[in-house]
Amino acid sequence: MALVNREKNYIFFHIYKTAGNTIRQFLDGEELLGVHCHAKDMKKHFYSQGEQEFWDNAYKFAFIRNPYDWQVSLYYYIRRSSGHGDHEFVMSHPFATYLEYQRDVKLPEAKERPHGSNKYDTLLGFLTDDDGNMLVDDIYRCEDYVKEMGILCGKLGIPFTDSPSQNVSGNRDRDYRKYYDERSKALVEEMFGEDIEHFNYKF
């Protein structure tokens, strides 16, 4: 989802499992374009509505997460979410098999969906246009949540106090490395290698 605040002139791009629900406690605005939309689709939306000036001048930002941790978080979120479409699959398959499913089924499916409805993609896929140009002004990291939120809220002129995280997958170890073997590590690097390199993430 993207949260658009015209009064304060910002657009927050909510990438799945990147502390978005916790961040939203400090933000307000209008939800546009459905589930975890791409920045390029939001740009198309505003341009098609004759609101190019708003898009061009709005402060656009997102939070990202280490892809190794990101995918563990997603897997365990689905395991505890009985209503999720992939719940039965992940309950009967190990993490590495789910990553193969993500690579072979979920990512290709997402690329075929109409704009604004994509759930799965790479970090760069959410944030860049078709030519690879970055469309957001600032990218914050979940790994430094308190520091980054302090910076963001300072820019937006809103108060920030650290608060309990929302939508946390409590059924997993915080050290994501414990869930990896060579097979699963290679799968994440295959799918998200450009993210890992571009944002300088390490295992």
CA torsion 180-36-166-152 (nearest 10°) is 100
pTM: 0.90
CA torsion 46-47-52-57 (nearest 10°) is 50
Q: What is the C-alpha separation between 112 and 129, in angstroms, rounded? A: 16
Determine the pLDDT at residue 118: 58
Pairing relation of β-strands 2-5 and 30-32?
antiparallel
Give me the tens of pLDDT residue by residue for the chain, a chain 203 residues long: 789 999 999 999 999 999 988 998 899 999 998 778 899 999 999 999 999 999 999 999 999 999 999 999 999 999 999 998 899 999 999 999 999 999 998 888 777 766 655 578 899 999 999 999 999 999 999 999 999 999 999 999 998 887 655 555 556 788 999 999 999 999 999 999 999 999 999 99
Instruction: Reduce the secondary structure of 31-59 to three states and give it as a string.
Output: EECCCCCCHHHHHHHHHHCCCHHHHHHCE
Determine the pLDDT at residue 163: 61
Q: What is the C-alpha separation between 76 and 71, in angstroms, rounded? A: 9
Contact 46, 54 (CB under 8 A): yes
Determine the pLDDT at residue 169: 54
Q: Which two tokens stand for residue 50?
A: 């004759």
Determine the pLDDT at residue 37: 87
Determine the pLDDT at residue 107: 84
Q: What is the C-alpha separation between 65 and 15, in angstroms, rounded? A: 9
What is residue 114's DSSP assignment? P
How confident is the model over 181-192, as pLDDT tens digits? 999 999 999 999
**Fold classified for 2-198:** Rossmann fold (3.40.50)
